[in-house]
Structure 1
């Protein structure tokens, strides 16, 4: 896939219950399982992605679902990025950055001031992406345990 094709990607809110999106989520699950044990995986499922406090985006190229991500809106101006994933065939084309930037825009529109995320230490491309976009490591937050297989990051949106 060329950079020109990826630049034509359409990123939009979609239902997580579509078959093509379900396949993308299964691929995300498999990727996570290849890196981390189940106890260190904090993926949310389609039912959680469909909740009223979640904004879920899908990236499509030529109609094919090749990426996704969500922001979970919390209390007091905080939000959490979840399910950021780009399929193998679309990686290296800035699609992950475009997804995160679109989610940040949605979060700002919902008056989110602080955006957080949890990822793992073996997710090197994701860590590089988040750092490049201004996310900095922070302490565990919410219900997450302080775990060596978790890296917590945050970014002020104001």
Structure 2
């Protein structure tokens, strides 16, 4: 599996992001869907990676910079054709490694509270994420679960 920076110009990534948005809309009410569309993912404060194998897009994940010490995981999605192959685990490890390279003190995420999101919650827990209160601009929402991981204090330069 090769994980690479993605500029979101390819049709495969556009289709995967559409699959992601459609999936979120099926499981969450509109006011509780916090997934980013293509244009939002192209903003300067968001970095997107895609995972590939033999020319096939396996999945994607993104890191949004909330401030110089805090990042947020966004758009974690495995293609329906490649579920249960460890794609999300590899992407999550890559994003955590990048957050550490950026010397973030904390990495957080929002995911759904419904049963469909339990596998994602378990994956995040296995990496050391803990449940927390809403962060950034999020509000308490019975359809959302918030998780965070302390990465260590940002060192002074």
Alignment-derived partner of residue 142 in structure 1: 136
Unaligned residue ranges in structure 2 (runs of 5+): 153-157
Q: In structure 2, which of residues 33, 44, 53 is the aligned counterpart of residue 41 of structure 1? A: 33
Deviations, residues 61-112 of structure 1 (Å, cap 9, x unaligned): 2112120010001214000000000012211111101101101111111121
Q: How many residues align?
A: 150
**2:32 is equivalent to residue 28 of structure 1:** no
> What's 1:81 paired with?
73
- Name the residue aligned to 1:113: 105
- TM-score, scaled relative to structure 1: 0.90
State which of 119, 123, 128 in structure 2 corresponds to 1:129. Answer: 123
Cross-structure match for 1:6 = none
Distance 1:151 1:27 in 2: 21
User: Aligned partners of 2:20, 2:33: CA distance in 1, in Å?
Assistant: 11
Moved over 2 A (4+): none
| Aligned-pair Cα RMSD in Å | 1.1
Which segments of 5 or more consecutive residues in structure 1 lack a partner in the other structure?
1-8
